[in-house]
Amino acid sequence: MPKILVKKPVVDINGDEMARVIWAKIKKELILPFLDISLLDFDLKISNRDITNDDITVQAANAIKKNNIGVKCATITPDDNRVNEYNLKKKYPSPNGTIRKILNGTIFREPIIVKRIPRIVDHWNKSVVIARHAFGDIYQAKEIEVKKKGTLILNYKSAKETVSEVIHEFDSSGVGLAYFNLDNSIRDFANACFNFAINKKIPVFLSTKNTILQKYDERFKEIFEDIYNKKFKKEFQKNNIEYQHRLIDDMVACFMKWSGGYLWACKNYDGDVMSDLVAQGYGSLGLMTSILQTPDGKTVETEAAHGTVTSHFRQHENGKETSTNPIASIFAWTKALWFRSNLDKNIRLKKFSENLEKICIETLESGYMTKDLALMVGPNQKWLTTDQLLKVLQSKILKLNL
């Protein structure tokens, strides 16, 4: 069978522990036998990040910026225990955060729907894509402790003006908080959401509490509406999809009632919380993809939403075969290849990526799955090791006319 030619490269970012082991297996069994592709390799295992003083992460991000498409294995973000375990020079930041900052991207979390896998909310039969505006708000806030009676004031000073607002007159001890956002960041978020939705042909809902925060949250609403009307409305109407703003409490209620099939644009904290809720509601982080996309929709980094699966790696180190779920990592590859095919107008590559996703879902629905998913189905559900499942998937790809 002739391999599918992929003319432009994909940035391949390797990671840590069991996720790294599975990453190599996926490439060996499901990617390289079928694609004639140039992979630009960057090894972000924690020891290599330490050796390079984390410059390897910056190099990887810049390579994605140059080549438009990257696919990333799960990596360690070290806490104090990991610093000691790997004898690191320091506690390095999240590589995802570094890459996101360099690319100026928005994170889109999307569940993988498998009918056989029980969902806590069983009428969610279509995906809800959570778009998180991962900038500002409480994550870049400043806070103070108030010890005694006094006045808390919010001040803004520029060369031409000073604006002052009394927040609270304290009679006793308490706490205070101030945070911010930027119009340009909100614009980038809006553009990323609308571009992503057009690719997926799904509606967009922005949630805020603008009835309470009549300047702060209202700014999100105004910017989204302005960009939608000026740049995206005609394209949305052509695809028979819509954009709406909703209050966050109303949106949460609709989220529970609706069956899915839309993109939910969330402010920073809301997106942090709701992405975990969506993962749990649909069943598993092992069936959740994560896509980082730039505002223009032309640069993308994909990865699994789960971590490095340390407990399975300990078993692997002791020579034991594991049943580690590879599906989200496979979908990281399929999503990256789909975006590559879309940019390059490579019909065969697009068909391959879509077929591989279809095969994964059909295989799970046929009862071939790893232990974590089998336990969700029930005590009588049989399960496979990772290697066995990958072999089943490969055998099904070989039967296709690529």
Residues 175-189 have pLDDT tens digits of: 999 999 999 999 999
In this prediction, residue 299 carries a pLDDT of 96
Q: Specify whether 153 is located in the same domain as 186.
A: no
119 vs 283, higher pLDDT: 119
Q: Answer whether residue 204 is part of any domain.
A: yes
Q: Answer whether residue 358 is part of any domain.
A: yes
Report d(CA 23, CA 361) in Å as an integer.
19
Looking at 282, 306, 336, the residue that finishes a domain is: 282
Total domains, the chain = 3
In this prediction, residue 2 carries a pLDDT of 87
Contact between residue 54 and residue 355 where contact means Cβ atoms under 8 Å apart = no
Q: Which domain holds residue 343?
A: 1-111+298-402
Per-residue DSSP letters for 357-397? HHHHHHHHHTT---HHHHHHH-TT-----HHHHHHHHHHHH
For residue 1, is pLDDT > 90?
no
pTM of the predicted model as reported, rounded to 2 decimal places: 0.90
Contact between residue 216 and residue 181 where contact means Cβ atoms under 8 Å apart = yes
Distance of CA 196 to the CA centre of its chain: 13
Q: Specify whether 129 is located in the same domain as 278.
A: yes
Summarised one tens digit per residue, pLDDT across range 340-368 is 999 999 999 999 999 999 999 999 999 99
For residue 376, is pLDDT > 80?
yes
* CATH number of the domain enclosing 20: 3.40.718.10
Q: Specify whether 14 is located in the same domain as 80.
A: yes
Q: Specify whether 81 is located in the same domain as 100.
A: yes
36 vs 400, higher pLDDT: 36
Q: Specify whether 86 is located in the same domain as 185.
A: no
**Band of residue 134 on the pLDDT scale cut at 50, 70, 90:** confident
Q: Specify whether 133 is located in the same domain as 264.
A: yes
Q: Answer whether residue 287 is part of any domain.
A: no
Task: Tell me what the mean pLDDT of segment 63-84 comes to.
Answer: 95
**Band of residue 312 on the pLDDT scale cut at 50, 70, 90:** very high
Closest C-alpha among 321, 299, 348 to residue 25: 321
In this prediction, residue 254 carries a pLDDT of 96
In this prediction, residue 283 carries a pLDDT of 80
Task: Tell me what the mean pLDDT of segment 269-290 comes to.
Answer: 88
In this prediction, residue 28 carries a pLDDT of 97
For residue 401, is pLDDT > 90?
no
Q: Answer whether residue 174 is part of any domain.
A: yes
Report d(CA 279, CA 331) in Å as an integer.
15
Q: Answer whether residue 353 is part of any domain.
A: yes
Q: Answer whether residue 293 is part of any domain.
A: no
In this prediction, residue 197 carries a pLDDT of 96
Q: Specify whether 209 is located in the same domain as 302.
A: no
Q: Specify whether 242 is located in the same domain as 339.
A: no
Q: Would the CA dihedral through 341, 347, 348, 351 be positive or negative?
A: positive
Q: Answer whether residue 288 is part of any domain.
A: no
285 vs 192, higher pLDDT: 192
Q: Specify whether 251 is located in the same domain as 132.
A: yes
**Band of residue 305 on the pLDDT scale cut at 50, 70, 90:** confident
In this prediction, residue 201 carries a pLDDT of 96
Q: Specify whether 241 is located in the same domain as 104.
A: no
Task: Tell me what the mean pLDDT of segment 9-13 comes to.
Answer: 98
Mean per-residue pLDDT of the chain: 95
In this prediction, residue 146 carries a pLDDT of 95
Q: What percent of the chain has pLDDT over 90?
A: 89
In this prediction, residue 130 carries a pLDDT of 96
- Residue 112 main-chain phi, psi, to 5 deg: -100, 115
| Burial status of residue 257 (CB atoms within 10 A of its CB: 0-12, 13-18, 19 or more) | exposed
Looking at 282, 311, 336, the residue that finishes a domain is: 282
Give CA angle at 397 (38, 42), nearest 5°.
25
Summarised one tens digit per residue, pLDDT across range 29-63 is 999 999 999 999 999 999 999 999 999 999 999 99
Task: Tell me what the mean pLDDT of segment 135-156 comes to.
Answer: 92
For residue 229, is pLDDT > 90?
yes
Closest C-alpha among 52, 64, 133 to residue 99: 64
Q: Specify whether 124 is located in the same domain as 261.
A: yes
Summarised one tens digit per residue, pLDDT across range 91-120 is 999 999 899 989 989 999 999 999 999 988
Q: Answer whether residue 361 is part of any domain.
A: yes
In this prediction, residue 159 carries a pLDDT of 93
Contact between residue 394 and residue 30 where contact means Cβ atoms under 8 Å apart = yes
- 363's torsion region: left (phi>0), alpha (psi -120 to 50) or beta? alpha
**Band of residue 6 on the pLDDT scale cut at 50, 70, 90:** very high
Q: Specify whether 82 is located in the same domain as 191.
A: no
Q: Beta strand 204-208 with 262-266: parallel, antiparallel or unpaired?
A: parallel
- Pinpoint the alpha helices (H) of 141-203: 183-200
In this prediction, residue 140 carries a pLDDT of 87
